Amino acid sequence: MKTFTLLLTTLILVGLLVGGVFAFTCPKLQKEANESIAKAESAAMKVTDEREKGRAMAIIALAKDLVKQSEADHKEAADKKNAELHYRAEAKAKAAKSLADLVK
């Protein structure tokens, strides 16, 4: 019986420790997206073709909007303790980074 209790306690502790590894990464992803947006803005300023510059600025604007939505979803998720909103926030931050990385 003591072995079973010890084993169960160990499994619970490992589960709690591993659970922290899967914590939501919204702020980290948002930071990465903002860094990519800053690089994209820098690259867009160097573009001389007006059509390409307009395209780049439209992509950057969309990426910025996605980051704002991500931040709002993250805040709401924290307030409501809602994992689905965290997932949406992460997805929007990843999408924003991907869009910003298109501008070169």
Domain ranges in the chain?
Answer: 25-102
For 7-45, write each residue's pLDDT tens digit: 555 656 555 444 444 457 889 999 999 999 999 999 999
- Enter the pTM of the model: 0.76
Res. 98: pLDDT tops 90 = yes
**What distance in Å separates the CA atoms of residue 6 and residue 67, rounded to the nearest whole number?**
46
For 50-75, write each residue's pLDDT tens digit: 999 999 999 999 999 999 999 999 99
Q: How far is CA 93 from CA 33, 52, 90, 98, in A?
A: 6, 24, 5, 9
pLDDT at 74: 92
Q: How far is CA 45 from CA 1, 34, 41, 67, 82, in A?
A: 70, 17, 6, 21, 39
